[in-house]
Amino acid sequence: MIWVAAVIVLSFIGLHTFGQPAFAADSAQSWRSTFDLVMRWLNFAILAFLIIKYARTPIRDFFKSRKLELAHEIETLEKEKQETLRQVDENLKLLEDSAARFKELKQRITDQGERNKQIIIQQAQQESQILLEGARQKIDYHIIKARNKLKAELIDSAIAMATQRLPGEITAEDNQKWIDRFLAGTNTK
């Protein structure tokens, strides 16, 4: 109802304000322009009186209700804005906390990596010491084995040479001395 009244009022105002000087006149005389102007102002006064008399309360109520609706809408939007700002602040705080935790976690992982690196290096050094000790033992074993083999070969060579040379150089008298010594050594034991 209010919208219809507003459209009618605006139509009348528009016709009177922007209308032609006289719609019904075929020939305009000099008094006609003055008459049209007076009639426009009279029509405007009548229209203004009717709007003030009958449409004032509905228009005022419309504007009051619209004002209340807009105030309620603004209040709701302000609450939403405050909630959004609070959520943004919480998210920024969470972001700062997560950045600090990430930095701490990164440092912890780096420290753990360094410790693991040192442990691996120590294990490698221990393994290399064990391998070196094993290699030394193998070398010592091979040296002892080679010495024993050399001694055995030397003994075999010495026996072979002694068996070839001794029969020609040992006399019966030397045999008797060896037998006496042997018997003397067995008696004392």
Note if the pTM is more than 0.75: no
Q: What is the pLDDT of residues 124-155, one digit of tens each?
A: 999 989 999 988 999 999 999 999 999 888 88
182, HSE (Cβ side, Cα atoms, 13 Å): 6
- Cα-Cα-Cα-Cα torsion 69, 70, 71, 76, nearest 10 degrees, comes to 90
Count of positions (residues) in the chain: 189
Residue numbers of the domain that contains 41: 11-16+33-122
Number of domains in the chain: 1
Long-range contacts, 98-102 (Cβ 8 Å, 24+): none
Of the pLDDT bands very low, low, confident and very high (cuts 50, 70, 90), residue 72 is very high
38 occurs within a structural domain: yes
**Rounded Cα gap, residues 144 and 150, in angstroms:** 10
